[in-house]
Amino acid sequence: MASSLSNGHASPPNPPAIHVKFTQLFINGHFLHSLSGKTFETIDPRTGDIIATVAEATKEDVDAAVHAARHAFDSGPWPRMSGSERGRILMKWADLIDQNAEEVAALDAMDAGKLFQWCKMEVPSVANMLRYYAGAGDKIHGEVLKMSREFHAYTLLEPIGVVGHIIPWNFPSTMFFSKVSPSLAAGCTMVIKPAEQTPLSALFYAYLAKLAGIPDGVLNVVPGFGPTAGAAITSHMDIDKVSFTGSTQVGREVMQAAAKSNLKQVSLELGGKSPLIIFDDADVDKAVELALIGILFNKGEICAASSRVFVQEGIYDEFEKKLVEKAKAWVVGDPFDPNAQQGPQVDKKQFEKILRYIEHGKREGATLLTGGKTVGNRGYYIEPTVFINVKEDMLIAQDEIFGPVMALMKFKTMEDAIKSANNTKYGLAAGIVTKNIDIANTVSRSIRAGMIWINCYFAFGHDVPFGGYKMSGFGKDCGLEALHKYLQVKSVVTPIYNSPWL
């Protein structure tokens, strides 16, 4: 197992000089202490050391943030601005993000254990996502309807109101803007709860939003914990919609809270156990690369990870051999080391959860082909791990592990592959590797998942809708589909002159 950790002990390279500037709640345009005075520590997963102490939002803080957002929606300028004026402010915010990209990228790398080199690409990408929706703001319109009766009718698209965004820790910047960008373009105001593991970049973005000219109360950021701040958002009577990304279990709780409160609208992007299906005609070297990236990118902490890999029997042996070679050469190390390909898991809890799944896979009778151990004496590093002889009903083939753990399986026919791919409660994404267009078309239409990649993987884009089927949730992030999550349709009907219905 390749490692950039010296003598099995993490000796982190020096990151760019960073001073964590923003650690308080951002409510109504101001950074504030929590009303309770509570704080929590955000931890560097490279070492387990404390990065910063952050204000912890409780129900009372969420109430204050919602009050600010409600006032900004009901009486403030944001929903009443022209789409082009909102777009101008969002464009300025995007420019400020570009100007501060390296600093924000370093915050995410330290806070989440993400590779710094990837974060430096991710942050400019979210600025472009913001620009995409800024350009859509003045193109929101309804349509004129031809009624069968003697009436004139048209529809209006109006912002849904105050939105509660609850975002996960695996992609702090991307998830922040996949929620915030379309809802701001639609004219909504909002309260955002970043994950307690990764609050720092969200607070920095709030500061830049203020500089860009987003009015006070429109965007509020309340770091805190799910059972307190998150629950207060989902059950709040003055929030009109909740957009949540996270586990399926918590997604259920979000829906229940929304139903029991004011029946607010909900959109959910939840777990996944995505299949990657590799056919006999595939280029084996390319397929191995896709399979490794599919499970090891972002250390497997990605909902669309290809955690189940199915390889057709004709090339299986060659594939397995090359996969092991590549996995053993994979470099696990400090995310600020330019040679590292995989950083630490986000925190101790996630680290220990993944290790428990690895032990469970062994007990179930799967064969550990490679990996399965920790790396170094500090931090939360785990080797790339591949299991073979996996049965589809095993826990490691059914549960979302959310780590660098692959279940590698063999199949005979296309029909077998389709059946196995759909043998999951999830339906977020899938990959197909083949040179046969008929196979690609048939399989892509047969798998019940919201995103299908053919001869590629993780080909995301801010202009392509992303979301799941089945227990992977509903509602789309990205693309114009996301914009419509934050709009509601109003029908307006007037009688035609001299109508007999007058």
Task: Please check whether residue 281 is in contact with residue 434, taking contact to mean a CB–CB distance below 8 angstroms.
Answer: yes
Average pLDDT over residues 368-374: 97
Give the pLDDT of residue 18. 74
Same fold, 17-270+474-488 and 275-461: no
d(CA 196, CA 378): 21
Give the pLDDT of residue 7. 40
Extract the tokens encoding 413. Answer: 């026919």
Give the pLDDT of residue 9. 42
Distances, alpha carbon 178 to alpha carbons 313, 325, 364, in Å: 40, 37, 38
d(CA 189, CA 170): 24
Choice between 5 and 141, residue whose per-residue pLDDT is larger? 141
| pLDDT score of 268 more than 80 | yes
Residue 458 falls in which region: left (phi positive, over 0), alpha (psi -120 to 50) or beta: left
| pLDDT score of 19 more than 90 | no
| CATH number for domain 17-270+474-488, candidates 3.30.980.10, 3.90.580.10, 3.40.30.10, 3.40.605.10 | 3.40.605.10
Nearest Cα residue to 24 out of 9, 10, 14, 39: 39
Query: pLDDT for 373-425, tens place per residue?
Result: 999 999 999 999 999 999 999 999 999 999 999 999 999 999 999 999 999 99
Task: Please check whether residue 466 is in contact with residue 476, taking contact to mean a CB–CB distance below 8 angstroms.
Answer: yes
Residue 496 pLDDT class (50, 70, 90 cuts) = confident
| pLDDT score of 65 more than 50 | yes
| pLDDT score of 230 more than 90 | yes
Lowest mean pLDDT among 17-21, 108-112, 244-248: 17-21
Show Cβ contacts of residue 327 under 8 Å, excluding neighbours closer than 6 positions: 292, 370, 371, 384, 386
Query: pLDDT for 83-95, tens place per residue?
Result: 999 999 999 999 9
Q: What's the DSSP call for residue 97?
A: H
CB atoms within 10 A of CB 25: 28
| pLDDT score of 6 more than 80 | no
Give the pLDDT of residue 392. 96
Average pLDDT over residues 21-30: 97
Average pLDDT over residues 199-219: 98
Just list the catalytic residues. 269
Please provide residue 78's backbone torsions phi and psi, each rounded to the nearest 5 degrees.
Answer: -60, -50
Average pLDDT over residues 59-63: 98
Give the pLDDT of residue 477. 96
Query: pLDDT for 284-306, tens place per residue?
Result: 999 999 999 999 999 999 999 99
Give the pLDDT of residue 501. 55
Give residue limits of the domains in the chain.
Answer: 17-270+474-488, 275-461
Average pLDDT over residues 110-125: 97
| pLDDT score of 219 more than 80 | yes
Give the pLDDT of residue 499. 59
Give the pLDDT of residue 8. 43
Q: What secondary structure does DSSP assign to 244-258, as a single string? A: EES-HHHHHHHHHHH
| pLDDT score of 485 more than 90 | yes
Give the pLDDT of residue 150. 87
Give the pLDDT of residue 309. 98
Q: What percent of the chain clears pLDDT 90, i.e. is strictly above it?
A: 94
Fold assignment, 275-461:
Aldehyde Dehydrogenase; Chain A, domain 2 (3.40.309)
| pLDDT score of 490 more than 90 | yes
| pLDDT score of 272 more than 90 | yes
Residue 149 pLDDT class (50, 70, 90 cuts) = confident
Average pLDDT over residues 330-359: 97
Query: pLDDT for 415-467, tens place per residue?
Result: 999 999 999 999 999 999 999 999 999 999 999 999 999 999 999 999 999 99
| pLDDT score of 44 more than 60 | yes
